[in-house]
């Protein structure tokens, strides 16, 4: 893969073709070997919020090697990433040129992974020039710092989806009011049917009356000039209110700082924490049935004293075959058969238990487990 590649280059590959945590850590190790950052001269890396870049393993490595990581705001790398602005474009162009020249020189042969190093070397030496790299930081306003590098026109594309937070009632109410206002202003003033041409003229006239294009007082010498813009004739589309989603909220941050590191640590800990599945049955009829059929002591009661669980019985899945009763099932004088599935005890390889209500014996899988006692499915 690195045949005829750039000198001191590092080759990494992954089955999916995407950057992973392991590959990124190896790239950082290669970076440290050649850049040699220190506490007196730390290195700054600006990048996106991909999960392979923002994780506890990467943060710990960066903190130990005096690397500071600053992430871009979401959906802004095409404007803020220097490589995207001035380097990757020339690199791709020169890579295609090198590949096409190789194919013309070697007719009948196909390009394989073993030619990538050669193509990258030719493209890398010309695209990753000091001039292109410094221009990338200049055009993004990172260095020298220029907070006004982007004009207002650069943000026009976000007009359609520029909406308020759906979790706030103000955002939803404001959207409804604006939609109702648009319907009222565009509705005809009379019930008379209008043709297509008359209706368009009416809409244009109403939009002109609603627009405040001039703040000066009209006079005979200085009348108001009515300017018709394309937006009045056909307003820009506006997206509906945002839906409540569970997507992770991202923002620009210094990932290697202690507060951000703590957030990442808590997130990874919660992701690794095993989830306990508990089934809850909230039927008052079943509780009444249980009370009438059994005389269970309050200490062994399935019902909990907590008010939150007063109307429910917690039924947990049986995950082990532990024997719930010390009594030998064969001592049951009534029958050696399961009261639910009617299989005999001698033909069963599973643990049995005695029902608290009917005192019959049954398999664990044929019953329901409470906090203390077990009940067969026939009684409960």
3-state SS assignment for residue 267: helix
CB 9 within 8 A of CB 2: yes
State the Cα torsion 187-191-193-195 to the nearest 10°: -30
Q: What is the SS3 assignment for 114?
A: helix
DSSP string, 151-207: -GGGGGGGSTT----TTSHHHHHHHHHHHHHHHHHHS-SSSS---HHHHHHHHHHHH
- 320 within some domain: yes
DSSP 8-state assignment for residue 337: B
Query: Lowest-confidence range among 170-179, 315-324, 352-361?
Result: 315-324
Percentage of the residues of the chain whose pLDDT score is greater than 70: 63
Residue 102 in domain:
no
Mean pLDDT for the stretch of residues 8-17: 89
Backbone angles phi, psi at 175, to 5 degrees: -65, -45
Classify residue 176: in a domain, yes or no: no
Query: Would residue 316 count as lying in a domain?
Result: yes
Least confident stretch, 18-22, 191-195, 225-229: 191-195
Q: Tell me the C-alpha distance between 240 and 223, whole Å.
A: 39
pLDDT of residue 31: 96
CA distances (Å), origin 60, targets 44, 48, 66, 98, 236: 15, 18, 10, 39, 47
- pLDDT score at 142: 94
Contact 356, 371 (CB under 8 A): no
b/e 179-202 (16+ beta carbons within 10 angstroms → b):
eeeeeeeeeeeeeeeeeeeeeeeb
Whether pLDDT at 317 is above 60: no
In Å, how far are 49, 60, 74, 75 from 249, measured between CA atoms? 11, 22, 9, 12
Residue 14's contacts (CB-CB under 8 Å, 6 or more residues apart) are 20, 23
* Residue 82 counted as domain residue: no
Q: Which domain holds residue 345?
A: 279-376
In a domain, 175, yes or no: no
In a domain, 314, yes or no: yes
81 part of a folded domain: no
363/248 Cα distance (integer angstroms) = 45
Domain count of the fold of the chain: 1
**Which is more confident, 268 or 250?**
268
On the question of pLDDT at 8 being above 80, the answer is yes
Task: Assess whether pLDDT exceeds 60 at residue 320.
Answer: no
More confident residue, 372 or 202: 372
Residue 82 has pLDDT above 90, yes or no: yes
Q: pTM (2 decimals)?
A: 0.56
């Amino acid at each position: 893969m690195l045949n005829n590649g750039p000198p001191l280059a590092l080759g990494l590959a992954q089955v999916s073709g995407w950057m992973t945590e392991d590959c990124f850590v190896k790239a950082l190790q290669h970076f440290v070997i050649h850049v040699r950052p220190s506490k007196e001269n730390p290195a700054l890396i600006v990048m996106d919020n991909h999960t392979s870049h923002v994780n506890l393993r990467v943060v710990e490595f960066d903190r130990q090697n005096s690397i500071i990581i600053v992430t871009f705001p979401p959906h802004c790398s095409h404007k803020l990433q220097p490589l995207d602005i001035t380097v990757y474009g020339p690199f791709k162009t020169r890579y295609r040129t090198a590949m096409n020249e190789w194919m013309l020189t070697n007719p009948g042969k196909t390009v394989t992974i073993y030619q990538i190093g050669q193509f990258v070397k030719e493209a890398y030496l010309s695209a990753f020039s000091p001039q292109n790299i410094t221009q990338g930081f200049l055009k993004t306003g990172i260095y020298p710092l220029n907070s006004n590098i982007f004009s207002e026109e650069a943000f026009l594309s976000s007009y359609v989806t520029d909406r308020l937070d759906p979790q706030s009632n103000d955002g939803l109410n404001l959207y409804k009011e604006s939609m109702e206002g648009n319907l009222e202003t565009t509705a005809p003033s009379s019930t008379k049917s209008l043709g297509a041409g008359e209706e368009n003229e009416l809409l244009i006239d109403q939009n002109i009356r609603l627009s405040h294009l001039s703040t000066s007082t009209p006079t005979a010498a200085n009348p108001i000039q009515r300017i018709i813009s394309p937006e009045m004739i056909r307003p820009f589309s506006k997206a509906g209110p945002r839906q409540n989603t569970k997507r992770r909220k991202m923002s620009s941050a210094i990932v290697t700082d202690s507060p951000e590191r703590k957030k990442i640590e808590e997130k990874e800990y919660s992701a690794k924490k095993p989830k306990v599945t508990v089934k809850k049955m909230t039927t008052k009829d079943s509780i009444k049935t249980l009370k009438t059929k059994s005389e269970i002591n309050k200490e062994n009661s399935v019902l909990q004293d907590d008010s939150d669980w007063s109307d429910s019985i917690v039924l947990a899945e049986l995950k082990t075959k532990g024997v719930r009763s010390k009594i030998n099932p064969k001592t049951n004088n009534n029958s050696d058969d399961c009261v639910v599935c009617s299989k005999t005890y001698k033909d069963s390889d599973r643990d049995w238990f005695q029902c608290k209500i009917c005192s019959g014996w049954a398999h664990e899988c044929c019953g329901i487990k409470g906090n203390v006692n077990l009940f067969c499915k026939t009684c409960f």
